[in-house]
């Protein structure tokens, strides 16, 4: 299938200029309007400010788009009929001519197929607390698709030690950007070690190039701690996570609906503080990803 690649994204790719992929689930299924539109615009602007080209991925009327217009972003932010699209869902929404917001796994796949090596997101999915067999497709995708995913670690509502174990099993190197530990979304440290700490975008670019030379087909996870001023320490957020998770279990919320439910309750339980932290880490990740893409373009 031929993807619809925006002209400015296509020009950047053809000319070897830096490009950063962005997912669209955060727009349609992450934050409420108008915050969702503002963060989408803010992430794209942050990437441009760092000298790279943003390429937000989504499915519109059954067509996979790489790079969206302002009208497209507005549509994703306001429509109530946008499907959440993982890798498994791509053929369904394409065949039926539907609209879809891509998750980490679907965005990684599309980015790789388009020739984009760096992808910025908030946090990856992982192993759900109390449900060790409920494992996000993000982890499988990281094990088979050679894209560098820049994030703030796995979402803190997950079982982080088990998620870290699955990443190891999948052969995914975890790089701590500026920290020795893997980041924990709302908190700067999970207490779980990264495989290596790096402090400069050039170092990440070197690792990506080495992976290419070795012919490895797995992804690379770059975890970036949320800016210190916006961090919610683990001891402060953990109680709210436990309560929100328990409420989800009591309500019988499972599967794809679980994460949105828990994140929404966290926003209420923290008086909006978790949303503020989420926005901060999204913008920060976009900036770091753009710097890595710029460094990688200096081949």
Q: Which of 188, 190, 175, 192 is nearest to 229 (CA)?
A: 188
Catalytic site residue from 23, 44, 141, 231:
23
Neighbouring C-beta atoms of residue 15, cutoff 10 Å: 9
156 close to 185: Cβ distance less than 8 angstroms: yes
229 is catalytic: no
23 is catalytic: yes
- From residue 241, give the alpha-carbon distance in Å to each of 26, 51, 91, 154, 227: 20, 37, 34, 14, 21
213 close to 177: Cβ distance less than 8 angstroms: no
Catalytic site residue from 50, 155, 179, 231:
155
Q: Any idea how long the chain is?
A: 299
Query: Which residue is it, tokens 């509502």?
Result: 157
Angle at the Cα of 110 from the Cα atoms of 162 and 281, rounded to 5 degrees: 55
Neighbouring C-beta atoms of residue 1, cutoff 10 Å: 8
Alpha helices in 124-200 (DSSP H): 137-142, 160-169
Relative to beta strand 19-22, strand 118-120 is parallel
Reported as type and span, the H/E element at residue 287 is: helix 273-296
290 close to 47: Cβ distance less than 8 angstroms: yes
Q: What tokens were used for 230?
A: 């916006």
Catalogue the E-assigned strands of 96-225: 100-102, 118-120, 127-128, 131-135, 148-151, 174-177, 196-198, 220-223
State the catalytic residues: 23, 155
């Amino acid at each position: 299938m031929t993807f619809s690649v925006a002209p400015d994204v296509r020009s950047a790719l053809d000319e070897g200029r830096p490009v950063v992929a962005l997912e669209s689930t955060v727009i349609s299924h992450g934050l409420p309007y108008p915050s969702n539109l503002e963060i989408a615009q803010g992430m794209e602007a942050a990437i441009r400010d760092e000298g790279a080209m943003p390429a937000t991925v989504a499915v519109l009327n059954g067509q996979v788009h790489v790079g969206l217009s302002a009208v497209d972003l507005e549509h994703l932010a306001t429509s109530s009929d946008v499907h959440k699209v993982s890798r498994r869902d791509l053929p369904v929404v394409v065949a039926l001519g539907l609209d879809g917001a891509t998750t980490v796994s679907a965005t990684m796949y599309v980015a790789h197929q388009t020739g984009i090596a760096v992808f910025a997101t908030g946090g990856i999915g992982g192993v759900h607390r109390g449900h060790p067999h409920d494992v996000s497709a993000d982890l499988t995708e990281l094990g088979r698709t050679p894209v560098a995913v820049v994030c703030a670690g796995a979402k803190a509502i997950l079982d982080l030690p088990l998620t870290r174990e699955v990443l190891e099993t999948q052969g995914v190197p975890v790089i701590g950007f500026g920290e020795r530990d893997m980041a924990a979304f709302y908190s700067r440290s999970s207490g779980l070690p990264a495989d290596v700490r790096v402090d400069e975008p050039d170092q990440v670019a070197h690792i990506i190039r080495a992976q290419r030379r070795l012919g490895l087909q797995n992804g690379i996870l770059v975890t970036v701690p949320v800016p210190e001023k916006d961090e919610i320490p683990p001891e402060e957020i953990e109680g709210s996570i436990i309560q929100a998770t328990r409420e989800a279990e009591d309500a019988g919320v499972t599967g794809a609906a679980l994460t949105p439910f828990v994140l929404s309750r966290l926003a209420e339980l923290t008086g909006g503080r978790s949303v503020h932290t989420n926005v901060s880490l999204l913008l920060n990740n976009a900036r770091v990803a753009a710097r890595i893409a710029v460094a990688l373009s200096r081949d």
